[in-house]
Structure formats: structure tokens, C-alpha cells
Amino acid sequence: MNDRMESREQKTVLTLMAHPDDAEFLCGGTLALLADRGFEVHIASATPGDCGTATLSREEISNIRRAEGRASAALLAGKFHCLEASDLLVFYGEPLVRRATALLRRVRPHLVITHNPQDYMPDHEQISLVARAACFNAPVPNAPVAELPEDAVTTGKDKRGKPRPPPDPPAPRIPHLYYADPVEGKDPLGQPVRPDVCIDVSGCLERKERILGAHVSQREWLRHHHGMDEYIESMRRWGAERGKMIGAASAEGFRQHRGHSFPQDDLLRATLGPLARSPS
């Protein structure tokens, strides 16, 4: 592997979460800070969020939410990916693990952020396990992969009539893996989940609001299903709660996966310096 490829990989962050607006809500400020430090940003969703509506068909809302995901990622000069699982039916299994592993090989991130393993809904918990498996699998030469939905065509040629490229090679390493806070910072039994590190995002809160605000379809959905009419305000309140843990106006919390064979050094702390602090 040449130095150019190695350098690019070390400045790439991938979020792999369940729905198109999850990353922006849970770690949008951290993504903005990493982008400022030269990281290439990739935001991936397991689903197109096809159940996130009370009025539209699954196809209609999927098209809207994919477009919102692309618009949000573009605000960070990033790229949006969708693995095209069905909303509310995200499961750890061969099809999704194969696609996630292929995505890791395509993006070749040095840093991956996913949902907390314990969260309020199964989609979040299942994609967390899928992301963990994909991080481990991506460097394994014989690991099974599947065609990415973004590459899917009906013949052996691409949309321009040219032969499809060969599969992406194995990733060079297992990336650093972090779990974002669960929604409201608690597990399914209502017990608090304490982060290892909190990132001070006070200085980029307006940018976080803009990238989350790109998901305009979700304000009406959250009002209908969750009883929330404060899409941005709820994000602000939770950020302020995490901020109290480090004496900041707003923060995002993370836990690092440090199981066998995963990197043990803390890349978020090393990259973000004094903005990354231990909660009190």
C-alpha cells in the first residue's frame, strides 16, 4: 500500500448508524470538528428511514430521506451511504454484515462511530453489533462481502456501460471503534450509560444544528410518533446535559471499544486534544 493511500485512510471517519439522521443528532458536532482537522467524512445509514413518516409511502419517504442524508453530509464535504435494510427490521445477519464489511473496505476508515450497544430501540442495538463485526472483518482477506447498494446494476456493466471494477481490497487494519451515547444517555431499562470521554462541541453547535436541520422530514414525524415538536431543541437540551459533565455549554459522549485486537489508543483524544475530556 502506498503512502498516499495510507495517509488518506488515517484521515477518514465513518459513522454507521440505523437511520439517516442518527449520526447528526448523536455526533454531528464531533464530525464537524474532525472535518475541520482534515478528516474525510462518511455518514452511513443501515436503512433509508422508510418508516419515518405518518403520511407518505415507504418509497416516497425513502427517497426524501436519502436526499436529506446526502444534503447533510455535503455540509461537511462528506458522502452519504445507505445499506438499504428495512426500517424497524435491522438484524445482525449475513446480508447486512456482508454489506457493512464491503462498506468498510470501500471507505477504509481509521475511525468508526456507531450506536451504543444498549439503546432504546433494537435497530440501534443491532447495527452497533453489525458495525463491530464489520470493523473486525474488513481486514480479513477471505471475509465474505456483498455488492453495495450504491453499486448495484442489473448487468455486469456499470451505468456508463463499462465493466464494473473489482471488489475493494481488504482494509489495512481494524479501525478505532467508538460508541456514541444512547438516546437520552440511558439503556433500555432506564439506567444511565456513562461515557468514557465527552467532546466539547460548544464552538460548532450552530453547524451541528444546520446538518441536523437538513433532515426536514423528521420534524413532522417526531411530532406525530414521539410527541416531540422540538427536533433541534431536544438535541440542544441533551448536548447541554452532557456538557455539564465537563463544564461546557454542549458536549457529545462516547465509549471506545477496546476488546481484543481493536486499537487501544484513544484516537478521539489524540485528535481533538483539550476538547476531549473525561466526565466528572
Q: Are 28 and 55 in contact (CB under 8 A)?
A: no
Q: Are 158 and 164 in contact (CB under 8 A)?
A: yes
Dist. CA 268–CA 220, nearest whole Å: 34
Q: Are 257 and 116 in contact (CB under 8 A)?
A: no
Record the cell numbers describing residue 37, joined without a space: 482537522
> Which of 44, 241, 243 has its CA nearest to residue 148?
44
Q: What is the pLDDT along the chain (280 residues), one digit of tens a residue?
A: 333 344 444 599 999 999 999 999 999 999 999 999 999 999 999 999 999 988 999 999 999 999 999 999 999 999 999 999 999 999 999 999 999 999 999 999 999 999 999 999 999 999 999 999 999 999 999 999 999 999 985 445 555 666 777 889 999 999 999 999 999 999 999 999 999 999 999 999 999 999 999 999 987 777 766 666 577 888 999 999 999 999 999 999 999 999 999 999 999 999 999 999 999 9
Dist. CA 92–CA 239, nearest whole Å: 30
Task: Provide the pLDDT for residue 7.
Answer: 47
Q: State residue 172 phi and psi, 5-degree precision.
A: -75, -15
Record the cell numbers describing residue 19, joined without a space: 437511520
Dist. CA 34–CA 6, nearest whole Å: 18
- Burial environment of residue 247 by CB neighbours within 10 A (0 to 12, 13 to 18, 19 or more): exposed
Q: State residue 196 phi and psi, 5-degree precision.
A: -80, -35
Q: What is the pTM of this model?
A: 0.93
Looking at residue 177, the DSSP 8-state letter turns out to be E
* Amino acid (one-letter) located at 251: A
